[in-house]
Structure 1
Amino acid sequence: MKKFKTLVMLISVSHSVIRGKTQMNMELNNSQELNRLSEQEVRFRCPHCQKLYRTSTDVFEGSEPEFDCSDCNKAFLLHNRCDDFGLYVASMVQEPVQFDSCPKCSSLKPHKSDECPTCGVLGSKYLELQKLESPALFELNQIWKRVMQGFDQDSLHQEFLNECHRKMALNFAFQKYSDLQKTLGYDSLCKQYLRQIELRLEQQLKAVQQPANEKAKAQTTPPMSKMQWVFMGLGAVGMASLIYNKFVPTFPNFNGLVMMLTVLAFGIGLFSNSKSDLKL
Protein backbone atom coordinates (compact mmCIF):
# COMPACT_ATOMS: atom_id res chain seq x y z
CA MET A 1 0.00 0.00 0.00
CA LYS A 2 2.84 2.33 0.84
CA LYS A 3 4.54 1.52 -2.44
CA PHE A 4 1.31 2.27 -4.31
CA LYS A 5 1.03 5.73 -2.74
CA THR A 6 4.63 6.44 -3.60
CA LEU A 7 3.99 5.43 -7.22
CA VAL A 8 0.93 7.63 -7.38
CA MET A 9 2.94 10.56 -6.07
CA LEU A 10 5.68 9.97 -8.63
CA ILE A 11 3.13 9.81 -11.43
CA SER A 12 1.50 13.07 -10.20
CA VAL A 13 4.87 14.82 -10.02
CA SER A 14 5.77 13.63 -13.52
CA HIS A 15 2.46 14.92 -14.84
CA SER A 16 3.07 18.29 -13.18
CA VAL A 17 6.53 18.47 -14.71
CA ILE A 18 5.12 17.56 -18.12
CA ARG A 19 2.37 20.19 -17.81
CA GLY A 20 4.92 22.78 -16.71
CA LYS A 21 7.16 22.01 -19.68
CA THR A 22 4.20 22.11 -22.04
CA GLN A 23 3.07 25.49 -20.68
CA MET A 24 6.60 26.86 -20.95
CA ASN A 25 6.83 25.63 -24.52
CA MET A 26 3.48 27.27 -25.35
CA GLU A 27 4.56 30.55 -23.77
CA LEU A 28 7.84 30.39 -25.66
CA ASN A 29 6.03 29.74 -28.92
CA ASN A 30 3.60 32.59 -28.25
CA SER A 31 6.51 34.89 -27.46
CA GLN A 32 8.28 33.86 -30.64
CA GLU A 33 5.09 34.35 -32.62
CA LEU A 34 4.61 37.81 -31.09
CA ASN A 35 8.20 38.71 -31.90
CA ARG A 36 7.72 37.48 -35.45
CA LEU A 37 4.51 39.50 -35.80
CA SER A 38 6.12 42.58 -34.28
CA GLU A 39 8.94 42.33 -36.78
CA GLN A 40 6.39 42.28 -39.61
CA GLU A 41 4.34 45.12 -38.07
CA VAL A 42 4.81 48.82 -38.80
CA ARG A 43 3.80 51.12 -35.98
CA PHE A 44 3.74 54.88 -36.34
CA ARG A 45 1.99 57.96 -35.00
CA CYS A 46 0.23 60.81 -36.77
CA PRO A 47 2.60 63.83 -36.56
CA HIS A 48 -0.38 66.15 -36.08
CA CYS A 49 -2.43 64.51 -33.31
CA GLN A 50 -0.11 61.60 -32.24
CA LYS A 51 -2.72 58.90 -32.91
CA LEU A 52 -1.05 55.45 -33.02
CA TYR A 53 -1.42 53.31 -36.16
CA ARG A 54 -0.34 49.79 -37.10
CA THR A 55 0.08 48.23 -40.50
CA SER A 56 2.18 45.60 -42.32
CA THR A 57 5.66 46.07 -43.80
CA ASP A 58 4.40 45.67 -47.36
CA VAL A 59 3.17 49.26 -47.10
CA PHE A 60 6.63 50.37 -48.23
CA GLU A 61 6.42 48.61 -51.59
CA GLY A 62 7.18 51.36 -54.08
CA SER A 63 7.40 54.96 -52.85
CA GLU A 64 6.82 56.30 -49.35
CA PRO A 65 3.07 56.06 -48.59
CA GLU A 66 0.84 58.99 -47.72
CA PHE A 67 -1.90 58.67 -45.10
CA ASP A 68 -4.89 60.74 -44.00
CA CYS A 69 -5.42 60.68 -40.26
CA SER A 70 -8.89 59.48 -39.28
CA ASP A 71 -8.96 61.77 -36.22
CA CYS A 72 -7.61 65.12 -37.43
CA ASN A 73 -8.18 64.56 -41.21
CA LYS A 74 -4.67 65.81 -42.01
CA ALA A 75 -2.26 64.18 -44.45
CA PHE A 76 1.22 62.90 -43.56
CA LEU A 77 4.04 60.80 -45.09
CA LEU A 78 5.42 57.56 -43.64
CA HIS A 79 9.18 56.93 -43.96
CA ASN A 80 10.94 53.55 -43.93
CA ARG A 81 13.09 54.26 -40.86
CA CYS A 82 12.53 54.05 -37.11
CA ASP A 83 13.09 56.54 -34.30
CA ASP A 84 14.61 55.89 -30.87
CA PHE A 85 11.34 54.40 -29.60
CA GLY A 86 11.03 51.82 -32.39
CA LEU A 87 8.25 53.69 -34.17
CA TYR A 88 8.43 54.45 -37.85
CA VAL A 89 8.97 58.11 -38.67
CA ALA A 90 6.02 60.12 -40.08
CA SER A 91 6.28 63.69 -41.33
CA MET A 92 3.75 66.38 -42.21
CA VAL A 93 2.88 67.02 -45.85
CA GLN A 94 3.90 70.50 -46.95
CA GLU A 95 0.77 72.08 -48.37
CA PRO A 96 1.31 74.53 -51.27
CA VAL A 97 0.86 78.17 -50.35
CA GLN A 98 -2.27 79.60 -51.97
CA PHE A 99 -2.92 83.23 -52.71
CA ASP A 100 -5.97 85.34 -53.43
CA SER A 101 -6.21 88.82 -54.89
CA CYS A 102 -7.40 91.74 -52.79
CA PRO A 103 -10.88 92.87 -53.99
CA LYS A 104 -9.83 96.52 -53.66
CA CYS A 105 -6.21 96.86 -54.85
CA SER A 106 -5.86 93.43 -56.62
CA SER A 107 -2.61 92.71 -54.74
CA LEU A 108 -1.86 89.11 -53.78
CA LYS A 109 -2.60 88.07 -50.20
CA PRO A 110 -2.55 84.71 -48.35
CA HIS A 111 -5.57 82.51 -49.05
CA LYS A 112 -6.77 82.29 -45.44
CA SER A 113 -6.03 85.93 -44.57
CA ASP A 114 -8.93 88.37 -44.68
CA GLU A 115 -6.76 91.48 -44.35
CA CYS A 116 -4.76 92.68 -47.34
CA PRO A 117 -1.09 93.32 -46.43
CA THR A 118 -0.85 96.05 -49.10
CA CYS A 119 -3.87 98.30 -48.49
CA GLY A 120 -5.03 96.93 -45.11
CA VAL A 121 -8.65 96.41 -46.22
CA LEU A 122 -10.70 93.51 -44.82
CA GLY A 123 -11.85 91.60 -47.90
CA SER A 124 -15.14 90.30 -46.44
CA LYS A 125 -16.26 93.74 -45.22
CA TYR A 126 -15.25 95.39 -48.48
CA LEU A 127 -17.27 92.86 -50.52
CA GLU A 128 -20.37 93.32 -48.36
CA LEU A 129 -20.17 97.10 -48.74
CA GLN A 130 -19.54 96.81 -52.48
CA LYS A 131 -22.49 94.45 -52.92
CA LEU A 132 -24.79 97.03 -51.34
CA GLU A 133 -23.38 100.10 -53.10
CA SER A 134 -22.62 98.68 -56.55
CA PRO A 135 -24.15 95.27 -57.43
CA ALA A 136 -22.71 95.42 -60.99
CA LEU A 137 -19.16 95.96 -59.71
CA PHE A 138 -19.65 93.20 -57.14
CA GLU A 139 -20.70 90.79 -59.90
CA LEU A 140 -17.62 91.67 -61.96
CA ASN A 141 -15.36 91.10 -58.96
CA GLN A 142 -16.93 87.67 -58.39
CA ILE A 143 -16.21 86.72 -62.02
CA TRP A 144 -12.65 88.04 -61.64
CA LYS A 145 -12.24 85.83 -58.57
CA ARG A 146 -13.10 82.78 -60.69
CA VAL A 147 -10.59 84.00 -63.28
CA MET A 148 -7.86 84.06 -60.61
CA GLN A 149 -8.74 80.54 -59.50
CA GLY A 150 -8.53 79.15 -63.05
CA PHE A 151 -6.12 81.57 -64.70
CA ASP A 152 -5.15 79.12 -67.46
CA GLN A 153 -8.76 78.69 -68.66
CA ASP A 154 -9.46 81.02 -71.56
CA SER A 155 -13.24 80.59 -71.20
CA LEU A 156 -13.16 82.32 -67.78
CA HIS A 157 -11.22 85.26 -69.22
CA GLN A 158 -13.63 85.61 -72.12
CA GLU A 159 -16.61 85.50 -69.74
CA PHE A 160 -15.05 88.31 -67.70
CA LEU A 161 -14.25 90.43 -70.78
CA ASN A 162 -17.71 89.90 -72.31
CA GLU A 163 -19.42 90.91 -69.08
CA CYS A 164 -17.23 94.01 -68.75
CA HIS A 165 -17.96 94.87 -72.41
CA ARG A 166 -21.70 94.48 -71.85
CA LYS A 167 -21.63 96.66 -68.74
CA MET A 168 -19.39 99.29 -70.44
CA ALA A 169 -16.68 98.55 -67.85
CA LEU A 170 -13.69 97.63 -70.02
CA ASN A 171 -11.60 100.21 -68.17
CA PHE A 172 -12.21 98.17 -65.01
CA ALA A 173 -10.96 95.02 -66.79
CA PHE A 174 -7.90 96.90 -68.08
CA GLN A 175 -7.06 98.03 -64.54
CA LYS A 176 -7.39 94.47 -63.19
CA TYR A 177 -5.00 92.97 -65.75
CA SER A 178 -2.59 95.90 -65.43
CA ASP A 179 -2.41 95.55 -61.64
CA LEU A 180 -1.93 91.81 -61.97
CA GLN A 181 0.90 92.30 -64.47
CA LYS A 182 2.58 94.75 -62.10
CA THR A 183 2.38 92.14 -59.35
CA LEU A 184 3.55 89.15 -61.39
CA GLY A 185 5.92 90.97 -63.72
CA TYR A 186 5.77 90.33 -67.46
CA ASP A 187 3.18 87.68 -68.26
CA SER A 188 2.20 86.60 -71.78
CA LEU A 189 -1.42 85.88 -70.79
CA CYS A 190 -1.86 89.32 -69.20
CA LYS A 191 -0.34 90.92 -72.30
CA GLN A 192 -2.70 88.94 -74.55
CA TYR A 193 -5.85 89.95 -72.67
CA LEU A 194 -4.73 93.57 -72.35
CA ARG A 195 -4.47 93.66 -76.15
CA GLN A 196 -7.98 92.21 -76.45
CA ILE A 197 -9.28 94.89 -74.10
CA GLU A 198 -7.64 97.62 -76.23
CA LEU A 199 -9.32 96.24 -79.37
CA ARG A 200 -12.68 96.09 -77.60
CA LEU A 201 -12.25 99.67 -76.36
CA GLU A 202 -11.54 100.84 -79.92
CA GLN A 203 -14.68 99.09 -81.18
CA GLN A 204 -16.69 100.53 -78.30
CA LEU A 205 -15.38 104.04 -79.00
CA LYS A 206 -16.24 103.75 -82.69
CA ALA A 207 -19.73 102.51 -81.85
CA VAL A 208 -20.26 105.54 -79.57
CA GLN A 209 -18.74 108.08 -81.99
CA GLN A 210 -20.59 106.93 -85.12
CA PRO A 211 -24.11 108.03 -83.99
CA ALA A 212 -22.63 111.28 -82.63
CA ASN A 213 -20.93 112.03 -85.95
CA GLU A 214 -24.11 111.26 -87.87
CA LYS A 215 -26.09 113.51 -85.54
CA ALA A 216 -23.55 116.33 -85.88
CA LYS A 217 -23.59 115.94 -89.64
CA ALA A 218 -27.37 116.08 -89.66
CA GLN A 219 -27.27 119.20 -87.52
CA THR A 220 -24.73 121.00 -89.73
CA THR A 221 -26.62 120.30 -92.96
CA PRO A 222 -30.31 120.33 -92.09
CA PRO A 223 -32.83 119.76 -94.89
CA MET A 224 -34.47 122.89 -96.32
CA SER A 225 -38.08 123.52 -95.39
CA LYS A 226 -40.82 124.65 -97.75
CA MET A 227 -40.59 128.24 -96.48
CA GLN A 228 -36.87 128.29 -97.25
CA TRP A 229 -37.54 126.98 -100.75
CA VAL A 230 -40.14 129.77 -101.31
CA PHE A 231 -37.80 132.57 -100.23
CA MET A 232 -34.86 131.10 -102.11
CA GLY A 233 -37.08 130.94 -105.21
CA LEU A 234 -38.10 134.58 -104.82
CA GLY A 235 -34.46 135.54 -104.45
CA ALA A 236 -33.59 133.63 -107.63
CA VAL A 237 -36.42 135.42 -109.53
CA GLY A 238 -35.15 138.78 -108.29
CA MET A 239 -31.57 137.92 -109.32
CA ALA A 240 -32.75 136.93 -112.78
CA SER A 241 -34.79 140.19 -113.11
CA LEU A 242 -31.74 142.28 -112.23
CA ILE A 243 -29.61 140.49 -114.81
CA TYR A 244 -32.30 140.87 -117.48
CA ASN A 245 -32.76 144.59 -116.63
CA LYS A 246 -29.00 145.04 -116.95
CA PHE A 247 -28.94 143.94 -120.58
CA VAL A 248 -32.46 145.07 -121.54
CA PRO A 249 -33.41 148.11 -119.43
CA THR A 250 -37.06 147.60 -118.65
CA PHE A 251 -37.53 149.09 -115.16
CA PRO A 252 -34.39 151.09 -114.41
CA ASN A 253 -36.13 153.05 -111.64
CA PHE A 254 -36.91 149.89 -109.64
CA ASN A 255 -33.42 148.31 -109.63
CA GLY A 256 -32.77 149.34 -106.00
CA LEU A 257 -36.11 147.96 -104.80
CA VAL A 258 -35.67 144.69 -106.68
CA MET A 259 -32.12 144.28 -105.33
CA MET A 260 -33.30 144.94 -101.76
CA LEU A 261 -36.12 142.39 -102.09
CA THR A 262 -33.73 139.85 -103.63
CA VAL A 263 -31.19 140.20 -100.78
CA LEU A 264 -34.01 140.01 -98.22
CA ALA A 265 -35.42 136.84 -99.81
CA PHE A 266 -32.03 135.13 -99.85
CA GLY A 267 -31.37 136.18 -96.24
CA ILE A 268 -34.69 134.82 -94.99
CA GLY A 269 -34.18 131.61 -96.97
CA LEU A 270 -30.71 130.98 -95.56
CA PHE A 271 -31.22 131.91 -91.89
CA SER A 272 -34.81 130.83 -91.25
CA ASN A 273 -35.45 127.86 -88.93
CA SER A 274 -35.18 124.55 -90.79
CA LYS A 275 -37.98 123.07 -88.68
CA SER A 276 -40.46 125.75 -89.64
CA ASP A 277 -42.71 124.91 -92.55
CA LEU A 278 -45.04 126.92 -94.77
CA LYS A 279 -48.63 125.92 -94.31
CA LEU A 280 -50.29 126.04 -97.66
Structure 2
Amino acid sequence: MTSKQSAWTGMLSVEDTALYVSDTGGPGRPVVYLNGAYADQSHWKRVLADLGSGYRHITYDQRARGKSKRSADYSFEACIRDLDAVLTARGVDRPLLVGWSYGGILGWHWADRNPDRVLGVVTVDAFPVGLTGEAGRERIRKLFRRMRWLFPIASRLGLAARMTADQHAEVNIECNEIAAASVPVLDRLTCPVRFVLATGDSLGSKDGEMEQGRTVLDPLLASNPNLKVSAKVASNHSKILRNDSPAVADAVREFAVTRGPAVG
Protein backbone atom coordinates (compact mmCIF):
# COMPACT_ATOMS: atom_id res chain seq x y z
CA MET A 1 0.00 0.00 0.00
CA THR A 2 1.17 3.51 -0.81
CA SER A 3 0.18 6.52 1.26
CA LYS A 4 0.57 10.12 0.18
CA GLN A 5 2.29 12.69 2.38
CA SER A 6 2.39 16.44 1.90
CA ALA A 7 5.69 18.13 1.11
CA TRP A 8 7.26 19.90 4.07
CA THR A 9 10.41 21.84 4.85
CA GLY A 10 11.18 23.24 8.26
CA MET A 11 12.78 22.90 11.65
CA LEU A 12 12.12 19.79 13.74
CA SER A 13 12.70 20.16 17.48
CA VAL A 14 14.67 17.25 18.94
CA GLU A 15 16.04 17.25 22.51
CA ASP A 16 18.14 20.43 22.93
CA THR A 17 18.38 21.20 19.22
CA ALA A 18 16.38 21.58 16.02
CA LEU A 19 17.04 19.81 12.71
CA TYR A 20 16.44 21.31 9.30
CA VAL A 21 14.35 18.74 7.39
CA SER A 22 13.14 18.63 3.78
CA ASP A 23 10.48 16.14 2.64
CA THR A 24 9.28 16.21 -0.98
CA GLY A 25 6.13 14.31 -0.02
CA GLY A 26 4.03 12.42 -2.50
CA PRO A 27 3.17 8.72 -2.80
CA GLY A 28 6.61 7.48 -3.90
CA ARG A 29 8.89 5.17 -1.98
CA PRO A 30 10.36 7.06 1.02
CA VAL A 31 14.12 7.42 0.68
CA VAL A 32 15.96 8.96 3.63
CA TYR A 33 19.42 10.39 2.98
CA LEU A 34 22.10 10.32 5.69
CA ASN A 35 24.93 12.80 5.32
CA GLY A 36 28.66 12.54 5.75
CA ALA A 37 30.01 13.44 9.19
CA TYR A 38 30.24 17.20 8.59
CA ALA A 39 28.20 17.59 5.40
CA ASP A 40 24.77 19.08 4.92
CA GLN A 41 21.92 17.79 2.80
CA SER A 42 22.91 19.84 -0.26
CA HIS A 43 25.38 17.14 -1.28
CA TRP A 44 22.49 14.91 -2.36
CA LYS A 45 21.05 17.31 -4.94
CA ARG A 46 22.47 15.48 -7.96
CA VAL A 47 21.27 12.11 -6.72
CA LEU A 48 17.80 13.55 -6.14
CA ALA A 49 17.80 15.08 -9.62
CA ASP A 50 18.88 11.77 -11.17
CA LEU A 51 16.09 9.87 -9.39
CA GLY A 52 13.42 12.46 -10.09
CA SER A 53 9.93 12.88 -8.69
CA GLY A 54 8.97 9.21 -8.52
CA TYR A 55 10.39 8.97 -5.00
CA ARG A 56 9.63 10.66 -1.72
CA HIS A 57 12.99 12.24 -0.84
CA ILE A 58 13.68 13.09 2.81
CA THR A 59 16.89 14.92 3.65
CA TYR A 60 18.01 16.61 6.84
CA ASP A 61 21.00 18.34 8.39
CA GLN A 62 22.52 16.74 11.47
CA ARG A 63 23.18 18.80 14.60
CA ALA A 64 25.28 21.92 13.95
CA ARG A 65 25.45 21.13 10.23
CA GLY A 66 23.76 23.15 7.53
CA LYS A 67 20.75 24.98 8.94
CA SER A 68 20.35 22.77 12.03
CA LYS A 69 20.99 24.15 15.49
CA ARG A 70 23.90 23.43 17.80
CA SER A 71 23.64 20.88 20.60
CA ALA A 72 25.43 19.65 23.69
CA ASP A 73 25.53 16.14 22.20
CA TYR A 74 27.16 15.27 18.87
CA SER A 75 27.52 11.55 19.53
CA PHE A 76 26.68 8.68 17.21
CA GLU A 77 23.84 7.70 19.55
CA ALA A 78 22.40 11.20 19.19
CA CYS A 79 22.44 10.69 15.41
CA ILE A 80 20.54 7.41 15.83
CA ARG A 81 17.93 9.20 17.95
CA ASP A 82 17.68 12.03 15.41
CA LEU A 83 16.97 9.58 12.59
CA ASP A 84 14.24 8.02 14.72
CA ALA A 85 12.81 11.49 15.36
CA VAL A 86 12.76 12.41 11.66
CA LEU A 87 11.06 9.14 10.70
CA THR A 88 8.45 9.54 13.44
CA ALA A 89 7.75 13.18 12.66
CA ARG A 90 7.32 12.48 8.95
CA GLY A 91 5.30 9.31 9.46
CA VAL A 92 7.73 7.09 7.58
CA ASP A 93 7.62 3.31 7.83
CA ARG A 94 10.14 0.97 6.15
CA PRO A 95 12.35 3.62 4.50
CA LEU A 96 15.20 2.98 2.16
CA LEU A 97 18.24 4.53 3.85
CA VAL A 98 20.93 6.03 1.62
CA GLY A 99 24.06 7.00 3.54
CA TRP A 100 27.36 8.46 2.47
CA SER A 101 30.47 7.90 4.62
CA TYR A 102 29.38 8.51 8.26
CA GLY A 103 25.79 8.27 7.07
CA GLY A 104 26.45 4.82 5.63
CA ILE A 105 27.67 3.58 9.02
CA LEU A 106 24.65 5.17 10.66
CA GLY A 107 22.43 3.30 8.19
CA TRP A 108 23.96 -0.10 9.07
CA HIS A 109 23.48 0.40 12.79
CA TRP A 110 19.93 1.72 12.51
CA ALA A 111 18.99 -1.20 10.23
CA ASP A 112 20.61 -3.67 12.64
CA ARG A 113 18.53 -2.31 15.51
CA ASN A 114 15.34 -2.08 13.44
CA PRO A 115 15.36 -5.07 11.07
CA ASP A 116 11.58 -5.05 10.59
CA ARG A 117 11.38 -1.31 9.92
CA VAL A 118 13.83 -0.88 7.05
CA LEU A 119 13.52 -1.70 3.36
CA GLY A 120 17.26 -1.67 2.77
CA VAL A 121 20.42 0.40 2.84
CA VAL A 122 22.43 1.98 0.04
CA THR A 123 25.93 2.65 1.36
CA VAL A 124 28.03 5.22 -0.47
CA ASP A 125 31.74 4.63 0.20
CA ALA A 126 31.60 3.50 3.81
CA PHE A 127 33.24 0.31 5.04
CA PRO A 128 34.06 -1.22 8.43
CA VAL A 129 37.56 0.06 9.05
CA GLY A 130 39.00 3.09 10.84
CA LEU A 131 41.87 4.63 12.74
CA THR A 132 41.81 3.31 16.29
CA GLY A 133 44.01 3.24 19.36
CA GLU A 134 45.83 6.20 20.86
CA ALA A 135 48.04 6.69 17.80
CA GLY A 136 44.97 6.92 15.58
CA ARG A 137 43.18 9.29 17.93
CA GLU A 138 46.19 11.60 18.12
CA ARG A 139 46.56 11.62 14.33
CA ILE A 140 42.93 12.69 14.01
CA ARG A 141 43.25 15.40 16.64
CA LYS A 142 46.36 16.85 14.95
CA LEU A 143 44.63 16.90 11.57
CA PHE A 144 41.63 18.82 12.84
CA ARG A 145 43.71 21.28 14.84
CA ARG A 146 45.70 22.11 11.71
CA MET A 147 42.45 22.68 9.82
CA ARG A 148 40.69 24.74 12.49
CA TRP A 149 40.99 28.04 10.63
CA LEU A 150 39.09 26.53 7.68
CA PHE A 151 35.97 25.51 9.58
CA PRO A 152 34.10 28.86 9.52
CA ILE A 153 34.47 28.97 5.73
CA ALA A 154 33.87 25.27 5.13
CA SER A 155 30.71 25.25 7.23
CA ARG A 156 29.16 27.81 4.88
CA LEU A 157 29.88 25.44 1.98
CA GLY A 158 28.31 22.44 3.71
CA LEU A 159 31.71 20.85 4.33
CA ALA A 160 32.12 21.36 8.07
CA ALA A 161 30.02 21.68 11.18
CA ARG A 162 29.62 24.69 13.42
CA MET A 163 31.84 23.01 15.98
CA THR A 164 35.26 23.58 17.45
CA ALA A 165 38.29 21.72 16.09
CA ASP A 166 38.22 19.45 19.12
CA GLN A 167 34.53 18.66 18.62
CA HIS A 168 35.16 17.83 14.95
CA ALA A 169 37.97 15.53 16.04
CA GLU A 170 35.90 13.73 18.66
CA VAL A 171 33.12 13.06 16.15
CA ASN A 172 35.72 11.63 13.78
CA ILE A 173 37.39 9.53 16.48
CA GLU A 174 34.07 7.99 17.53
CA CYS A 175 33.13 7.36 13.89
CA ASN A 176 36.42 5.57 13.22
CA GLU A 177 36.01 3.38 16.29
CA ILE A 178 32.40 2.49 15.47
CA ALA A 179 33.28 1.76 11.84
CA ALA A 180 36.13 -0.53 12.85
CA ALA A 181 33.79 -2.43 15.18
CA SER A 182 31.01 -2.80 12.59
CA VAL A 183 32.06 -6.08 10.99
CA PRO A 184 29.65 -8.13 13.17
CA VAL A 185 26.84 -5.66 12.39
CA LEU A 186 27.29 -6.07 8.64
CA ASP A 187 27.69 -9.81 8.95
CA ARG A 188 24.28 -10.21 10.58
CA LEU A 189 22.22 -7.65 8.63
CA THR A 190 19.11 -9.26 7.21
CA CYS A 191 18.04 -6.43 4.92
CA PRO A 192 19.57 -5.87 1.48
CA VAL A 193 22.60 -3.56 1.47
CA ARG A 194 24.02 -2.17 -1.76
CA PHE A 195 27.48 -0.58 -1.81
CA VAL A 196 28.63 2.13 -4.19
CA LEU A 197 32.37 2.40 -3.70
CA ALA A 198 34.96 4.93 -4.82
CA THR A 199 38.60 4.12 -5.53
CA GLY A 200 40.46 7.15 -4.20
CA ASP A 201 41.43 8.49 -0.80
CA SER A 202 39.74 11.13 1.32
CA LEU A 203 40.96 14.13 3.28
CA GLY A 204 43.25 12.91 6.04
CA SER A 205 44.00 9.53 4.45
CA LYS A 206 47.14 8.72 2.49
CA ASP A 207 49.07 6.10 0.56
CA GLY A 208 46.03 4.17 -0.57
CA GLU A 209 44.61 3.68 2.94
CA MET A 210 41.04 4.04 1.74
CA GLU A 211 41.37 1.49 -1.05
CA GLN A 212 43.07 -0.93 1.29
CA GLY A 213 40.27 -0.40 3.79
CA ARG A 214 37.62 -1.28 1.22
CA THR A 215 39.08 -4.79 0.98
CA VAL A 216 37.67 -5.46 4.47
CA LEU A 217 34.32 -5.85 2.72
CA ASP A 218 35.46 -8.87 0.67
CA PRO A 219 34.90 -11.58 3.32
CA LEU A 220 31.62 -9.96 4.37
CA LEU A 221 30.35 -9.98 0.79
CA ALA A 222 31.23 -13.67 0.66
CA SER A 223 29.55 -14.57 3.97
CA ASN A 224 26.36 -12.46 3.94
CA PRO A 225 24.29 -12.79 0.73
CA ASN A 226 22.35 -9.63 1.63
CA LEU A 227 25.44 -7.50 0.92
CA LYS A 228 26.34 -6.69 -2.68
CA VAL A 229 28.47 -4.14 -4.51
CA SER A 230 26.24 -2.22 -6.89
CA ALA A 231 29.08 -0.23 -8.46
CA LYS A 232 32.69 0.76 -8.04
CA VAL A 233 33.43 4.16 -9.54
CA ALA A 234 36.52 6.15 -10.45
CA SER A 235 36.05 9.16 -8.19
CA ASN A 236 37.37 9.51 -4.66
CA HIS A 237 35.59 9.44 -1.32
CA SER A 238 34.98 13.19 -1.18
CA LYS A 239 33.70 13.65 -4.74
CA ILE A 240 31.61 10.52 -5.25
CA LEU A 241 28.22 12.22 -4.83
CA ARG A 242 29.19 15.01 -7.18
CA ASN A 243 30.91 12.93 -9.89
CA ASP A 244 29.07 9.61 -9.70
CA SER A 245 25.53 10.44 -8.66
CA PRO A 246 24.09 8.21 -11.46
CA ALA A 247 25.68 5.14 -9.85
CA VAL A 248 24.08 6.01 -6.51
CA ALA A 249 20.71 6.57 -8.22
CA ASP A 250 21.00 3.21 -9.96
CA ALA A 251 21.60 1.49 -6.61
CA VAL A 252 18.40 3.10 -5.27
CA ARG A 253 16.49 1.95 -8.37
CA GLU A 254 17.50 -1.66 -7.68
CA PHE A 255 15.09 -1.62 -4.73
CA ALA A 256 12.21 -0.43 -6.91
CA VAL A 257 12.69 -3.55 -9.00
CA THR A 258 13.28 -6.10 -6.26
CA ARG A 259 11.44 -5.02 -3.10
CA GLY A 260 7.78 -4.59 -4.03
CA PRO A 261 5.44 -1.61 -3.59
CA ALA A 262 6.29 1.54 -1.69
CA VAL A 263 5.11 2.01 1.86
CA GLY A 264 5.40 5.25 3.79
TM bracket, shorter-chain basis:
under 0.3
After TM superposition, the score normalised by the length of structure 1 is: 0.20
Bigger-Rg structure (1/2): 1
Kindly indicate whether structure 1 or structure 2 has the higher relative contact order, using CA contacts under 8 Å at least 6 residues apart: 2
After TM superposition, the score normalised by the length of structure 2 is: 0.21
> Higher strand share goes to which structure?
2
